[in-house]
Amino acid sequence: MSFPAPPAMMGYDRSTSMFSPDGRLFQVEYAMEAAKRGWTMVGVRAVDGVVIVAEKRKTSPLIDISQLEKVYMVDGHIGAGFVGFGSDGRILIDYARLLAVQYRFVYGEPIPVEYLTRQICDLMQVYTQHGGVRPFGVTLMIAGVDDTGPKLYVAEPSGQYISYKAHGLGQGGGQAIEVLQKEYRDGMKLEDAILLGIKAVASVMEGKPTTETLEVGIVDSETQKFRKLTKEELQKFLEKLGA
C-alpha cells in the first residue's frame, strides 16, 4: 500500500529552532499569525507626543470591559499595548516594567525607549532558537518620549523591532493602516494624532465606537508623562469625529 507524500513543511514546523529548506521558521510565522488575530490597535507619532489607541470588545454580556486593560503604563514616560495571546503579553509587559525600574535604580534616569524595546526583543528572540519552548504569540506596540523625542516601536514575535510614524496591528490592522497612509502627515500635532488614531480604529469596528470600547494612552513631549484619556476627554474626541 502506498501513502501520499507528506507536505514539504512536515517536520519543520515541529521545532522552534529548525529552518525549512527555503529558510523559514514556521513556529515564528505561526506566532505572528496568532498576533494578527488580536483586537485592533493603532499607534501614531506626532511632533509633540505619541498615542496608542486600542479596541475593546464585549465578547460576553457578563464581561465587565471597564476593567479590561489594553494599554499599559510601563514607566512614567512609556506606555505599551499588545495584540495576540493575553497571557504572553502580560508577561512581557511585566518584564518591561522590571527593566524600566532596574535601569532607573542603576543609572538614576528614565530608560530610553529604544533601549527598552531592544531588551524586550532580545528576550523574544531567545524563544525562537531553543527547543522545548515556543515564540511569544504577541506583537508589542511601545510608545514613549525620551530625550531624543517621541518614539513608536513595534516588536514582533521574531524579536525584530521597527520604528514607525504610525502603524496598525491586529485583525483590522491592514484596513487601519490604509487610513493612516491616506491621512498621516509629517508635523502632525498630538491632538490630530489622537483623532487620526481613533478614526483608524473606528473604521474597522463592527459597532459605533464609544468610551467603553476604546482605550487611548498618550505621552506628551512637554511633560514626558504617560497617561490614559479619561472617558470625558475621549468623548470629546469622539464628538469631534462625529462618532
pLDDT tens digits, residue range 160-169? Answer: 999 999 999 9
Nine-digit cell string for 201: 480604529
* Greatest extent of the chain over all pairs of C-alpha atoms, in Å: 74
Q: What gap in Å lies between CA 205 and CA 94, rounded to an integer?
A: 29
Nine-digit cell string for 120: 524586550
Eight-state DSSP code of residue 22: T
Q: What gap in Å lies between CA 42 and CA 52, rounded to an integer?
A: 6
Residue among 147, 144, 145 at smallest CA distance from 155: 144
Q: Which residues pair with 51 in a beta bridge?
A: 44, 218
Statement: residue 84 has pLDDT above 80: yes
Q: What gap in Å lies between CA 59 and CA 79, rounded to an integer?
A: 25
Nine-digit cell string for 62: 457578563
Match domain 29-241 to its CATH number in 3.40.50.150, 3.60.20.10, 3.30.310.10, 3.40.50.620: 3.60.20.10
Res 3: pLDDT: 42
Q: What are the pLDDT digits (tens) for 182-219?
A: 999 999 999 999 999 999 999 999 888 999 999 999 99
Res 11: pLDDT: 66
Q: What gap in Å lies between CA 13 and CA 10, rounded to an integer?
A: 7
